[in-house]
Amino acid sequence: MADMERTDKETLYVEKYREGRFAVVTLHRPDVLNAGSPTLFGELADTIESFEHDDDVRAVVLTGGTGKAFSAGADLGGMTFDDMGSCRAFIRIAHAPFEAIERLGKVVIAAVNGYAFGFGTEIALACDLVLASDKARFGLREMNHGLVPAVTITRGVDMIGRRRVAWMAYTSDDLSAEEAREYGFVNKVVPHASLVDEYTALAARIAKRAPLAVAATKWTLNKSAGGHYREGENLMPAIFASDDVTEGRKAFEERREAVFRGR
């Protein structure tokens, strides 16, 4: 579209389509498969929040671009903390884009182009609608590293159900795009080559909806979100401080299976 304006940040870029009145936010850390980091969390939260009073944007798309990953997780190397206070501060930073998406009075569409593991699965979960390429894959690999998928075991229970969350969390099995649709996690699976056309059409369609009705609907659907994120913030510091997380990180770096001892 000729009316597109692009803004580049360190970990993502934003394209605004004024005629269609929507924006596309593309995660852009291709060297690490769009892995989450404190910088990405902050930039994504700030970007989403900037749309609240932007009348030129009535719908938002979040995608991973043309690469093979939507987001393949979070940077484990950034999860080392000197004390519980710094751990809690990190969790708040990590939660910021999730809460920004859920608070925004406009529809956010996840357009999942490829691997969506850990952070990738969970940030898609926070979005209002999810389109997935038939090449997309989802999974919660946190327990492989001694961690907990805090967003999914809190917010996700309402969205896809206790049994499905339990399976994903305990097994760390991947889901295909079609399996994720059957779980109720994905709204629609589309051919990979059609993903851009599909999300463009959907965003333009949603942007024409009545803004007040959209905002009221979203507030009602997401009104319990804040409490769920606070649960995660209370849960995670003790997990991050455990020897099991240290072992999980070392095992990942050494490319071996972790041996967890429950301490």
Residue-wise DSSP of 60-111: EEEE-TTSSEEE--B-GGG---SSHHHHHHHHHHHHHHHHHHHHSSSEEEEE
pTM equals 0.93
Give the pLDDT confidence of 103-127 residue by residue, as tens digits: 999 999 999 999 999 999 999 999 9
Question: 218 and 107 in contact (C-beta within 8 Å)?
Answer: yes
257 catalytic residue (yes or no): no
In order of their start, the domains of the chain are 4-194 (3.90.226.10)
Q: Which amino acid is located at 163 in the chain?
A: R
Which residue is catalytic, options 142, 231, 247, 253?
A: 142
Give the pLDDT confidence of 84-110 residue by residue, as tens digits: 667 778 888 999 999 999 999 999 999
178 catalytic residue (yes or no): no
Which residue is catalytic, options 43, 102, 122, 198?
A: 122
Question: 244 and 260 in contact (C-beta within 8 Å)?
Answer: yes
